[in-house]
Amino acid sequence: MTETRGHIKKILKRTLPLELQSYLTRRPSIGIDRASWDREYAAGEWSKLGNLDEMPRYALIAGYTRNIGSGASVLDVGCGEGHLASWLLEDGKRRYFGIDLSSVAIQKARGRASNGARFEVADAGTFYTEERFDIIVLNEVLYYIEQPEQALERYTDLLAPGGVLIISMYRVPESISVWRRVVSQVDVIDKVWLRGSSRTEWDVWLCRPAQCSNCG
């Protein structure tokens, strides 16, 4: 059976578009250590997140933030090399804070930072700050966290009154499972299904905490 799966994987890697092949090497899974992320970022394995195929997702997230307000503060959880930051800071008015487990990714993000963006090495599964944010972006990160329900509850506590969550997940069984686990914790304001040029698919949700007394 293992040999059969390996053979199928080889066939897929020969026939799928290059951009989609890269996702075969990393399906979302929990327990990936900091050293592994650092090694992959150092090798340039995640530079693909700056490719054209990722633009629909970034553009939608940026559109949601602009609809909320040009002065809204943003926490970007799992920011990687900071590709999304440039989309969120085009007008230069927003307070932006990005966190990621990989120190290599954060170093690269700081190298391209503009308009006062801040980046910090932190574990998305345990991060906490006294700051409060109008928008918290969970961009391709919830399916890497062992307890996504608890993580989402903690990030909800970091929202300013009236704040919103933007959740994006690459569409695979792992992300569908995570969404089913956390959906009761949010009220969905808007949701969009996206498909990139390489046939990569995402689901993006604009949400408020469910039955939140301070949501306005």
Q: Which CATH number fits the domain that encloses residue 200?
A: 3.40.50.150
Q: Reply yes or no on whether the pLDDT at 27 is more than 70.
A: no
pTM score of the predicted model: 0.83
Query: Please, how many CA atoms are within 13 Å of residue 138, restricted to the half-sphere of its CB?
Result: 33
The answer on pLDDT for 158 being more than 80 is: yes
Domain that holds residue 116: 35-209
Predicted pLDDT of residue 94: 85
For residues 36 and 12, what is the distance between their CA atoms, to the nearest angstrom? 25
Buried b (16+ CB within 10 A) or exposed e, 29-65: eeeeeeeebbebbeeeebeebbeebbebbbebbbebb
What single-letter DSSP state applies at residue 30?
Answer: S
CA dihedral 74, 58, 205, 167 (to 10 degrees): -50
Give the side-chain half-sphere CA count within 13 A for 172. 14
Residue 165 lies in a domain: yes
Residue 136's pLDDT is 98
pLDDT at 16 > cutoff 60: no
Per-residue pLDDT, 71: 86
Residues 91-124 have pLDDT tens digits of: 667 899 999 999 999 999 999 877 789 999 999 9
Which residues are CB-neighbours of 142 under 8 A, at least 6 positions away? 148, 151, 152, 167, 169, 175, 178, 182
Of 195 and 204, the structure prediction assigns the larger pLDDT to 204
pLDDT digits (tens, 9 = 90+) for 35-72: 999 999 999 999 988 888 888 999 999 999 998 887 89
How far is the C-alpha of 186 from the C-alpha of 208, rounded, in Å? 6
Q: Is residue 22 part of a domain?
A: no
Tally of domains within the chain: 1
**Whose CA is closest to 153, among 134, 127, 188?**
127
> 152 exposed, middle or buried (CB, 10 Å; 0-12, 13-18, 19+)?
buried
Which among 183, 186, 184 has a CA at the least distance from the CA of 208? 186
Residue 203's SS3 state is strand
